[in-house]
Amino acid sequence: MTTIVLTHGAFHGGWCFAPLVDELESRGVGSVVLDLPLTDLDADAAAVISVLDNIEGPVLLLGHSYGGSVITVAGNHPSVERLVYLAALGPDEGERASGGPVAIGDEFMSAMRAGDDGIPFIDPDLAARIFYPDIDVLDAARWADELRPGHTGGAAIVEQAAWRTVPSTYVVCADDPIILPDAQRAIAVRIGADVVEIAGDHSPMVARPTELADILCGLLPTGL
């Protein structure tokens, strides 16, 4: 049976997939989440590879946002049968994590801060409406409280882009204020991915878990 491994993006943790995991479990689909160290691309990819090493059977490997860069490296693992880029970065060989036709929304960029230690974080007063505008304001604030500082890629370079050899699907979030939708479409074209579009913001695993689960289950070998 195929296992879905869910790789989060910048400032997040495995907790952000909880609604999606619940939805998948209700359909009898197994999934695994992890917390990236968010120190650099190589360390984050190594964390995913460590998880893949302990899974029996094929894997559908999803990367959300910065997590797309991570799965581009980790997805060369022999267990991975398909990559899923969810509103994600998709760098090529010789590029850093943010390589490619990336366009980031102004509001997100203006909310970036750095702590005294130099580690980036998102202004807490702005995080909820940037990451979770499609859900209830109070719920969005609770999700935003879980965000954490972290680096996203550093100076690490992609040596072997998994999307060059592994079949890929790109899920475009059509109203994303962070990685802009036209940039997502351009990334999807560049990596040669099948494209599926979903309405809404940057975080459909929170706001639209049922719709996202429909897409993922449709990618499984037997479908569900």
CB distance 72 to 49 below 8 Å: no
Evaluate if residue 223 carries a pLDDT over 80: no
Please report the pLDDT score of residue 78 as a whole number. 98
Q: Average per-residue pLDDT in the chain?
A: 97
pLDDT digits (tens, 9 = 90+) for 73-115: 999 999 999 999 999 999 999 999 999 999 999 999 999 999 9
Q: What ranges do the domains of the chain cover?
A: 3-219
**What are the tens digits of pLDDT across the range 105-151?**
999 999 999 999 999 999 999 999 999 999 999 999 999 999 999 99
Residue 202 has pLDDT above 70, yes or no: yes
pTM assigned to the model:
0.97
| pLDDT reading at 1 higher than 80 | yes
Mean pLDDT of 2-17: 98
pLDDT (0 to 100) of residue 221? 87
Tell me, what's the pLDDT at 17?
Answer: 98
The answer on pLDDT for 153 being more than 90 is: no
Q: Is the pLDDT of residue 222 over 80?
A: no
Does the domain made of 3-219 have the CATH classification 3.40.50.880? no
